[in-house]
Amino acid sequence: MKLDSTVAIVDLYRRLGGEKYSEAISQTEHAVQCAWLAEKEGAASHLVLAALLHDIGHLVDLEMHDGRIVLDHDTRHEATGGNCLSGIYPARVRNPIVLHVEAKRWLCARRDGYMDGLSPASVHSLGLQGGPMSGPEADRFESMPGFADAIALRLWDDLGKDGTRGGDIDDLENLLLRHSAAVTTG
Ligand SMILES: [Fe+2]
């Protein structure tokens, strides 16, 4: 499934963004909170958009599975997310989205204590996603051009789960339109 406009993105979140990301928050709240964290750190617009849309693959998966959440295997939502946005955004927006699961695997391998802070859901999905990277995998990942953006996105992903902060569809639309205008397609 490919999305062809920011209108289609907002429409997808309007329909399915109310689905739970966790017990505490919805997909829309998680998306908005991650983008707010990126803005707070002064991230460039392409990276704020990546933070906002990094889990859009979960919504596409829900749409494809009639609203059922798939928990027993890895749906590769990061690849689905990057792919569904390929007609709208350039690679610098899509790459951190595609790499945010690998970034988790890298952080588990190379950052002391990182794994201890993961939510139970993240630990569960880590197992399905291949577990922490091996040494050679981690070395290779670090040498990729998109490494820094992918790690930055992953750390916001881990923090954007605050049940008291909110974030609604209007916030999502505002962030999306403002930062999309600053990112040229190509
Ligand atoms: Fe996320």
Residue-wise pLDDT tens digits, 108-134: 999 999 999 988 888 888 999 999 999
Q: Which two tokens stand for residue 46?
A: 């392409």
Q: What pLDDT score was predicted for residue 167?
A: 96
Q: What pLDDT score was predicted for residue 124?
A: 87
Quote the radius of gyration of the chain (alpha carbons, Å): 15
Instruction: Please tell me the distance between residue 143's alpha carbon and the centre of ligand 1 in angstroms.
Output: 24
Q: How confident is the model at residue 72 (pLDDT cuts 50, 70, 90)?
A: low
| H or E stretch at 128 | helix 120-128
Query: Which amino acid type is present at position 21?
Result: Y
Instruction: Please tell me the distance between residue 111's alpha carbon and the centre of ligand 1 in angstroms.
Output: 19
Instruction: Please tell me the distance between residue 52's alpha carbon and the centre of ligand 1 in angstroms.
Output: 9
Instruction: Please tell me the distance between residue 160's alpha carbon and the centre of ligand 1 in angstroms.
Output: 8
Task: Inform me whether the pLDDT recorded for 186 exceeds 60.
Answer: no
Instruction: Please tell me the distance between residue 54's alpha carbon and the centre of ligand 1 in angstroms.
Output: 6
Instruction: Please tell me the distance between residue 155's alpha carbon and the centre of ligand 1 in angstroms.
Output: 10
Tens of pLDDT, residues 170-181: 999 999 999 999
Q: What is each CA distance from 6 to 99, 155, 175, 178, in whole angstroms?
A: 22, 25, 11, 11
The architecture that CATH gives domain 6-182 is Orthogonal Bundle (1.10)
Interacting residues of 179 by C-beta distance below 8 A, sequence separation 6+:
35, 45, 46, 48, 49, 52
85-112 residues labelled b (16+ CB within 10 A) or e (exposed): beebbeebbbbbbbbbbbbbbbbbbbee
Tens of pLDDT, residues 26-71: 999 999 999 999 999 999 999 999 999 999 999 999 988 776 666 6
Tens of pLDDT, residues 75-114: 889 999 999 999 999 999 999 999 999 999 999 999 999 9
Q: Which two tokens stand for residue 88?
A: 């709208």
| pTM, entire model | 0.93
Spatial contact of 49 and 89, defined as CB atoms under 8 Å apart: yes
Q: How confident is the model at residue 1 (pLDDT cuts 50, 70, 90)?
A: confident
Q: Around Cβ 117, how many Cβ atoms within 10 Å?
A: 11
